[in-house]
Chains A and B, each alone.
Chain A
Amino acid sequence: MLTLPRRPIRIASAAILTLVIAALIAAVLWAILAAATDAASGSRIDIAHLLRMTALQAGLTTVLSLAVGIAVAWALNRLRFAGRDLVVGLFAAAIVTPGMVVAFGLLSIWGRNGWINQVANALFGIQFESPAYGLSGILLAHVVLDGAFAARILLARLDAIPQSRLKVGQSLALGAVQRFTLIDWPALRGSLPGLGAIIFLLAFTSFPIVLLLGGGPANQTLEVAIYTAVRLDFDLVGAVRLALTQIGVCSVVILLASVFTPVPSALSRSTPPRWRDRRAVRALQWLVLVLAGVGFALPLVSVLYDGLAGGLLRVLGQAGFWRATATSVVIGTASALLTLVLALLLALGRSATGHPLGRTLLGIPAFAYLAVPAVVLSLGFFLLVRTLGVPIGTAAPVVVVIANSLLSLPFAVATLGPPLEAIMATRGKLIRSLGLSGWQQFIAIEYPLLGRDIGLMLALAFCFSLGDLGVIALFGTQDFQTLPLMMYRALGSYRSNDAAAIAALLLIFTIAAFVGLPRLVERIAHAPRR
């Protein structure tokens, strides 16, 4: 590792950020314990059982999502067709769309009264048991959300395989299987541990989906138990105890993922493929894509369909809608930029250190928000703000931006981390021998090569914030509301048509951001060279 250029400032910045995030979480837990006046009432929750069930569900979700993600990324990487960008955008949109919207989209396809059942009923007169409820429903929803996200991230890695390598492969006449194992797999491998950890944590801490599709109290997660402790029992000490359990379990997963030295993956601009697989393989790729379309894209299409057919005009005519849109865009932009800064600090620091322990420690803070239960974080933030004596209404935008940035940080680091590692691995020696400063290294080498990934990351962070419902729920007021909050309020006032229209518009914004931002940033990043 002597080939790495010395970058003490990068390492120090990442280390300071790590400490700040750790301190923030400690402060949040402290604020809750300080507010807990009563002695803990004995919690009757069977934690061991809960952990077993949750780990099983999350494990299944992770394996299925990665497998599905790889298959879809593989098919999308090979195929070119009109509207491909839109399909890719649709896939990316799933992860950032509010869980409720996706869940209802799923139900309109897979539910008891869903499209599939309606078609089956009309054609064959049969009605089958819906897979959308119970454990299978939770898995279905999670794989749709997380598998689509995995596909988007892995596709970026496959699209970045240099043309030169593909040309060599083609000249060696590699078969489809050899091509995958020799060229694709090395490019994917580096992203899998981080991605797997994110998916596991997302499923482990999943909340609204588990409640809606789980069918009832039989299917729970630790996160739901924490919510119950706060809401029903008002047992804050118990909630912190449960939260610490969850943080402990999640930390183990994070440590395992961080210990893996990401395998450097290739780095290049995306170009259309000139090397086509054989016809049978192409047929398989189309099949994967069609199945993925039915499973992933169709639920989102149904959200668009329901929304645009219903109360669209009524919603567009409301002043409140435009205010909420403006608020959402401002909050989303601010938290995307903050996320970019945080993720770059962490990823640059991590790629600059050769020490395994340093790498592991600097990898941890990215996952902070996934490990700490959302209800605990928002509650803790809420209490902290009060302790500082700032009125909730005025602090709300700041807190929401910070919380949303932390929320998208793991995704941002998973997007920027592997390409930065790759730059260090392939160009570290060169950078050192040229004697570039850290700043020159970033401007001349890293930034231009990262263009598309930065765009993807900005889109992710922006849309996460756009779709957030957890943080805003505690801080929203009549005058400060975002689109998801407005959607939820419409749903709570019988106006499901309005809610559907807002959901569809949210989805359209999201897809537009995913199609547009990576291209835009790549263009900006490459502009000086033209």
Chain B
Amino acid sequence: MVKSSSLALAVLLAGLSGSAIAQDKPVLTIYTYDGFASEWGPGVPLKEGFEATCGCTVNWVAADSSIGTLRKVQLEGESTEADIVLGLDTAIAGEARDTGLFADHGLELDHLDLPTAWTDAQFVPFDYSHFAFMWDTDRMDAPPASFEELIALPEDVKIAIQDPRSATPGLGLLLWVKAAYGDRAPEIWAGLKPHILTITREWSESYALFLDGEADMVLSYTTSPAYHILDEGDHTIKAALFEEGHFAQIEVAGILKSSPHQDLARDFLAYLTSVEGQKVIPTTNWMFPVVDLGGDLDPAFADLPQPDKTLRLNEAEITANSSAWIEEMLAAVQ
């Protein structure tokens, strides 16, 4: 009784909203973070590109952050509408894997071009960049070349960073410091403390503080300058390269076991990692593609200075320790 009345309600509402559900085409529902699905993000061209061949409808559902997408499917469990979760990164992939919700993708991924070889059975990478602090040539003479140089700057040089509990770059910074300094990490955090203007919930708030001139540096990506060059013709914003090396964020997508559209989902991930799908990534998500685009990669990207050394931590270690490391960081900056 309950079921049939709620079904009736659902049908009624679906009819009112005139959505695509009424049609026969299968709907591929993909959970992602809001920037990806926005009118400026890669979501729009990827939808168009894939729908042209799949005979299906792509339905983006945007959560407020990538961690938000994971929590959403965790809450929904088996009953989730999502076929794919897109936008997790390697730092939280271990946690996502442990939920047992993700299926094997079964794709051959040997055509990828990443800082590390890719062998993951469940997650498919679709873009990457190294974390880095941005600086503005109009406001700073020379950037620090390491965490230690940053710490040694006068105290009125302020940085904006993100909370590792809510933002993936915030977590990335934590892992970066850990990978570079190990047990000395609390010491580095204590040194950074006087320079921290504020710790924001999301990347976007920190970045806005930097653009408004409130913060002298901000935690972002080595690819961020490309946006300013290509969209604004502004060459003053640069990434500071650190001698100790940089931690990379690799964004991934995974298929849910509960999805009734396993083949379709696999086709989408294949499209996402194809040259055609990857072409849209740099100038919409402002990250590096995971395949070699050759001459199709805009020189604003191809010429960006990149770190010599990529720092790594293995997934099991991250999953086992991230809570303790967050506590350690919060204790040091509090």
Contacts and interface: CB of A to CB of B under 8 A. Distances in A.
Interface of A: 35, 44, 100, 104, 107-108, 111-113, 133, 208, 211-218, 227-228, 230-234, 318, 320, 379, 382-383, 386, 388-395, 397-398, 473-474, 476-479, 485-486, 488-496, 499
Interface in B16-35: 16-17, 19, 21, 33-35
B209 interface: yes
Interface stretch (B109-117, B199-207, B290-298, B313-321): B199-207
Interface in B303-334: 323, 326-327, 330, 333-334
A208 B201 contact: yes
Contacts of B38: 486, 489-490, 492-493
Contact of B208 (A386, A389, A496): A496
B212 interface: yes
Nearest to B67: A231
B17 A494 contact: no
A495 B163 CA distance: 22
Interface stretch (B39-47, B172-180, B240-248, B261-269): B39-47
A217 B10 contact: no
B76 A488 contact: no
25 contacts: A107-B214, A112-B158, A211-B200, A212-B205, A214-B198, A217-B163, A228-B166, A231-B68, A231-B71, A232-B67, A318-B39, A383-B75, A386-B75, A386-B76, A390-B10, A391-B21, A391-B81, A393-B19, A394-B10, A394-B13, A394-B17, A394-B19, A398-B13, A477-B37, A491-B204
A395 B11 CA distance: 11
Q: DSSP class of A's interface residues: helix, strand, loop or mixed?
A: helix
Contacts of A489: 34-35, 37-41, 62
Size band of the interface chain B makes with A: 35 or more
A492 B203 contact: yes
A227 B286 CA distance: 29
B302 interface: no
Contacts, number: 163
B40 A113 contact: no
Contacts of A111: 212, 214
A495 B37 contact: no
Interface string B163-193: 1011000000000000000000000000000
Contact of B165 (A133, A228, A388, A492): A228
Nearest to A111: B214
A392 to B, nearest CB: 7
Contacts of A44: 327
Contacts of B165: 228, 231-232
A483 to B, nearest CB: 13
B211 A392 contact: no
A232 B166 contact: yes
A231 B201 CA distance: 11
A488 B198 contact: no
A217 B334 contact: yes
Interface of B: 3, 6-7, 9-10, 13-14, 16-17, 19, 21, 33-35, 37-41, 43, 59-64, 67-68, 71-72, 74-76, 79, 81, 158, 163, 165-166, 196-205, 207-209, 211-214, 224, 227-228, 231, 286, 323, 326-327, 330, 333-334
Contacts of B204: 488, 491-492
B41 A388 contact: no
Given A215-B197, A232-B166, A494-B231, A391 B60 contact: no
A217 B35 contact: no
Contact of B40 (A473, A479, A488, A495): A495
A494 B61 contact: no
Nearest to B17: A394
A474 B205 CA distance: 19
A133 B35 contact: no
A298 to B, nearest CB: 16
A343 to B, nearest CB: 27
B62 A478 contact: yes
Contacts of A486: 38
A312 to B, nearest CB: 16
Contacts of B10: 389-391, 394
A208 B166 CA distance: 12
A108 B212 contact: yes
A5 to B, nearest CB: 41
A133 B34 contact: no
A108 B333 CA distance: 26
Contacts of A390: 6, 9-10, 13
Contacts of A398: 13
A232 B165 CA distance: 5
B45 to A, nearest CB: 13
A93 B244 CA distance: 49
Contact of B214 (A113, A473, A490): A113
B198 A213 contact: yes
Contact of A474 (B60, B64, B208): B64
Contact of B207 (A214, A382, A388, A494): A494
Contacts of B62: 476-478, 489
B75 A382 contact: yes
A133 B19 contact: no
A476 B60 CA distance: 10
A322 B19 CA distance: 19
B61 A477 contact: yes
A294 B128 CA distance: 45
A211 B74 contact: no
Nearest to B99: A234
A119 to B, nearest CB: 14
Contacts of A231: 67-68, 71, 165-166
Nearest to A134: B198
Nearest to A480: B17
Contacts of A386: 75-76, 79
